[in-house]
Each structure stands twice: as structure tokens, then as C-alpha cells.
């Protein structure tokens, strides 16, 4: 046990060793105080897209500090926010016309929920229920926890969480159950919005589902006049092989949340985009219809400048081709685990791969996750399994040998945990 004055996130300090300090980052690596280079195979909790300290983004940040710090974002605007908003509208699926800035993924979802409720409130329609998907994750604030899967992570806070309507996860072959459940909720007439992570549920265990499900959700929502909120906080910026995951299904949500890769992962920033319909429902000479939301650091100009630089990187550095290449590399490695009885559910979507280690005690609290973390750490890798789910979500700059190292480590660690080779 190591007493720590810093209370680290998702960390049981009674069980963890003293954390080493990271002294610098570069590309796919973290460098610790002893000079060890650690391969960041999970993009530092899914935020780093191109690689750590991308020179174009770092330069944009330095340049922005010559002109700006934080500026109040009511009464005044600034160029980095305006350029970023224009770039975002061009980058997301069509139909999203307005951008509301905030500072984290959780906040972007809170904003989305408030936009949805405000939309119906301002139109004097009584719709105030939210449909969510089983195993969903939308953040750690009270509001987003309410919309996420209930479990050991939020049991203590359950008295503060509001009720939502949950549809089952669309397991392969059982998709119709999910859609039927959705339709039953929609028929009540009380559903304001359906909030979901398109195509892959991240924190819920990298669970993937077919684009057709998203298409059908969109169709049902249209029929019953419900809004669709796509939480693309994790799936955005190329992770699933397209810039946004909704593109796989050719679907435009009414509201889209983005954060993690928005600045390439360099600085905290988030945006919630919405349709003109939603914006217009808040546009009125009646001040009570104002969208009442703000945070102190809304649209921080330095973070926005990093976001603009990220868009430049996307435009000029062949990011899409790199993502395809990374997907292909995964495709070469992954088959070795496909008929391996140590694993099940071997899956890939774009740059993300996941596989379930066949242990009997699954679930987050099982010891297997922390044990694997330590074994990966000893092999110079940052990999944090979700219970028995091992996944890789590397920055796009990762090289072929680096990726091979990660796959070899998964093979080795699995054998150690299970006490047997393949």
C-alpha cells in the first residue's frame, strides 16, 4: 500500500504500487522517470489519435499562447473557435449545423441531453424520457452515469441517478429484440431521445454491433419523432476506420458528441453538434427559451487552436490512408487468435481490436484485469484490459514492429494467466 496525496482516477490505492512518473511523451511512447519507453497501446485512455506531441498540433498550441489565454465565451467570440466550428461542421455527417463547445466527453453528453429536453420543452411537447443501450458508457458525471450501465462503478451513487429506458445490446442474430424494445418505448410517446455509442461500446467492453442496427434505430426514431444522439466521444476521429462511426451506417444523428480525439488528444476540449431544428427551437425573443449551459473554460482558444491544427493534420497528412494501413496490420495479426481456445469473441473495427480471455471469473472486479496490467507493464506496454476483455487502441503512428510486440505480449500474458500455452 502506498499513501498518495493525489487521488488517481479509477485507482484502488490500497492495491496499486507507487506510480512511476512520466517525464515525456513522443509518438507511440511514454517515457518514465527511469528512462523506460512504454508503448502506449491504448492511446492514453483513447485520446491520442495521431501520436503523442504531434509537431503540427504542438506548434499551433505554442502560437496560440502568443495571443490568447482563456476568454469568456459569452459576449465575445474568437477566431480559433470559429475556424474549428466551421471545420467540424464540414467533417461530421451532413445535417449538423451548430456547434456548442465544452471541455470533456461527459460534458458534451450532458449538453446533448439538455439540448434534447430543451427542444421538446420549448415546443411545449411533453417528452422527457431517454432511451439508452445496455452496456453503454457516457461518462462519470451524475447525469451521464444515469444514462450508462449500472454496476459496481456507480452502485454507491444510485440514489442520485435518474431513470432511463434501456434497450438490450444487439447481440448478433438478436438485433430484432433490440429494435422491438426500442419501438415499444417509442410508442409511449414520451421518448425525447435515443442516446447511444455508434457501432462499438467502449468502456462496456469493446462490444461491436452491425451498422444496420444503427440504420434501423434512425428509421424508428424518425417514425416516432424522437431524436438520435450519437456519442462519438470514443468512436470519433478515425477509430472505427471512418472519421465518425455513423458514416458506416450512412446515418446522421440529430446530435453528435465529440471530445477525445478533437485536439488529437493534446488538450481537453469537447463539442456537441446539433441540427438547425434543435437550435431554432431555442431561438426566441422569449429569454426563457435560451439554452442555459456553460462551463468556465468553454471553447478555450488554445484548445480550439489545437483542434484546428488537428483538422489540418487530417487534411494534409493522409490520416485516412494510415488508418486503413493500421487496420490491415491488425488484420494480419488477429487471425492467430481466431481458433485459439484461450480466447473468444476476437473482433476488430477499424483501428480497434478486442478479444475476451477465457477465464471463469469475468467482470471488472475480477483480479485478472489488474494482473494482466502488471504483466503488460513489465513488458513495456500500456494495456488496460476491461475485466477479461483485452483490447488495443493504438495511436495511428504505431509501426509494424511495435504492433507485433503488443500482439506477442498478449499471447504471452494470456498463457501466464491461464497457466498453459496455446
Residue nearest to ligand PLP (CB): 105
Residue ranges of the alpha helices (H) in 165-275?
175-187, 211-224
C-beta of 137 vs 314, nearer to ligand PLP: 137
CA-to-CA distance for 343 and 337, rounded, in angstroms? Answer: 7
Q: Is 294 annotated as a binding residue?
A: yes
Q: Which helix (H) or strand (E) holds 3?
A: none
Stretch 199-218: interaction string toward ligand PLP, x if CB under 6 A:
---xx---------------
**For residue 239, what are the contacts with CB-CB under 8 A and spacing of at least 6?**
46, 49, 200, 245, 261, 350, 351, 352, 393
104 binds ligand PLP (CB under 6 A): yes
C-beta of 260 vs 330, nearer to ligand PLP: 260
Q: Is 295 annotated as a binding residue?
A: yes
Q: Which of 216, 252, 259, 388 binds ligand PLP (CB under 6 A)?
A: 259
137 binds ligand PLP (CB under 6 A): yes
CA-to-CA distance for 136 and 201, rounded, in angstroms? Answer: 6
CA-to-CA distance for 19 and 165, rounded, in angstroms? Answer: 40
* Residue carrying the nine cell digits 444514462: 147
CA-to-CA distance for 50 and 32, rounded, in angstroms? Answer: 21
Stretch 217-256: interaction string toward ligand PLP, x if CB under 6 A:
--------------x-xx----------------------
Q: Which of 121, 138, 239, 330 binds ligand PLP (CB under 6 A)?
A: 138
C-beta of 91 vs 352, nearer to ligand PLP: 352
CA-to-CA distance for 383 and 343, rounded, in angstroms? Answer: 17
Give the binding range for ligand PLP (CB under 6 A) out of 69-77, 195-203, 218-226, 287-295.
195-203
C-beta of 139 vs 385, nearer to ligand PLP: 139
C-beta of 281 vs 353, nearer to ligand PLP: 353
Contact call for residues 46 and 274 (beta carbons, < 8 A): no
CB of residue 32 vs ligand PLP: minimum separation in angstroms? 23
Burial of 366 (0-12, 13-18, 19+ CB in 10 A): middle
CA-to-CA distance for 95 and 274, rounded, in angstroms? Answer: 8
CB of residue 213 vs ligand PLP: minimum separation in angstroms? 17
Give the binding range for ligand PLP (CB under 6 A) out of 52-60, 168-176, 196-204, 206-214.
196-204
Q: Which of 106, 146, 216, 275 binds ligand PLP (CB under 6 A)?
A: 106
CA-to-CA distance for 266 and 248, rounded, in angstroms? Answer: 27
CA-to-CA distance for 419 and 422, rounded, in angstroms? Answer: 10
Q: Which of 110, 197, 254, 356 binds ligand PLP (CB under 6 A)?
A: 197
Binding footprint of ligand PLP on the chain (CB under 6 A): 104-106, 109, 137-139, 197, 202-203, 231, 233-234, 259
Annotated binding site for pyridoxal 5'-phosphate: 105-106, 231, 295-296
Amino acid at each position: 500500500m502506498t499513501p498518495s496525496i493525489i487521488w488517481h482516477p479509477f485507482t484502488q490505492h490500497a492495491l496499486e504500487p507507487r506510480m512511476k512518473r512520466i517525464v515525456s511523451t513522443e509518438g507511440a511512447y511514454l517515457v518514465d522517470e527511469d528512462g523506460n519507453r512504454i508503448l502506449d497501446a491504448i492511446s492514453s485512455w483513447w485520446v491520442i489519435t495521431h501520436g503523442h506531441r504531434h509537431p503540427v498540433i504542438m506548434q499551433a498550441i505554442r502560437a496560440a499562447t502568443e495571443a490568447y489565454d482563456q476568454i469568456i465565451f459569452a459576449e465575445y467570440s474568437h477566431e480559433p473557435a470559429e475556424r474549428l466550428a466551421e471545420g467540424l461542421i464540414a467533417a461530421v455527417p451532413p445535417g449538423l449545423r451548430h456547434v456548442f463547445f465544452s471541455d470533456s466527453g461527459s460534458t458534451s453528453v450532458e449538453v446533448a441531453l439538455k439540448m434534447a429536453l430543451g427542444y421538446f420543452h420549448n415546443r411545449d411537447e411533453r417528452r422527457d424520457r431517454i432511451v439508452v443501450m445496455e452496456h453503454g458508457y457516457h461518462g462519470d458525471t451524475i447525469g451521464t452515469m444515469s444514462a450508462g450501465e449500472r454496476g459496481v462503478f456507480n452502485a454507491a451513487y444510485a440514489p442520485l441517478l435518474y431513470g432511463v429506458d434501456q434497450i438490450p445490446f444487439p447481440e448478433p442474430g438478436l438485433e430484432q429484440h433490440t429494435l422491438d424494445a426500442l419501438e415499444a418505448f417509442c410508442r409511449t410517446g414520451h421518448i425525447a431521445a435515443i442516446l447511444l455509442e455508434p457501432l462499438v461500446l467502449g468502456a462496456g467492453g469493446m462490444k461491436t454491433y452491425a451498422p444496420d442496427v444503427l440504420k434501423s434505430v434512425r428509421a424508428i426514431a424518425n417514425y416516432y419523432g424522437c431524436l438520435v444522439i450519437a456519442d462519438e466521444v470514443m468512436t470519433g476521429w478515425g477509430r472505427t476506420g471512418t472519421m465518425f462511426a455513423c458514416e458506416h451506417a450512412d446515418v446522421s444523428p440529430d446530435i453528435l458528441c465529440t471530445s477525445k480525439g478533437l485536439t488529437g488528444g493534446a488538450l481537453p476540449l469537447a463539442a456537441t453538434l446539433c441540427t438547425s431544428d434543435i437550435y431554432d427551437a431555442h431561438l426566441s425573443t422569449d429569454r426563457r427559451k435560451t439554452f442555459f449551459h456553460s462551463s468556465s473554460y468553454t471553447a478555450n482558444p488554445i484548445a480550439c487552436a489545437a483542434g484546428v491544427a488537428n483538422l489540418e493534420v487530417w487534411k494534409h497528412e493522409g490520416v485516412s490512408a494510415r488508418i486503413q494501413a493500421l487496420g490491415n496490420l491488425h488484420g494480419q495479426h488477429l487471425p492467430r487468435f481466431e481458433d485459439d481456445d484461450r480466447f473468444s469473441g476476437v473482433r476488430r473495427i477499424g483501428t480497434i481490436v478486442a478479444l475476451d480471455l477465457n477465464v471463469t471469473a469475468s467482470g471488472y472486479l475480477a483480479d485478472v484485469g489488474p494482473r494482466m496490467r502488471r504483466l503488460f507493464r513489465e513488458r513495456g506496454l500500456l494495456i488496460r484490459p476491461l475485466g477479461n476483455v483485452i483490447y488495443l487502441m493504438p495511436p495511428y503512428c504505431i509501426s509494424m514492429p511495435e504492433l507485433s510486440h503488443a500482439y506477442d505480449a498478449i499471447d504471452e500474458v494470456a498463457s501466464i494467466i491461464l497457466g498453459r500455452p496455446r
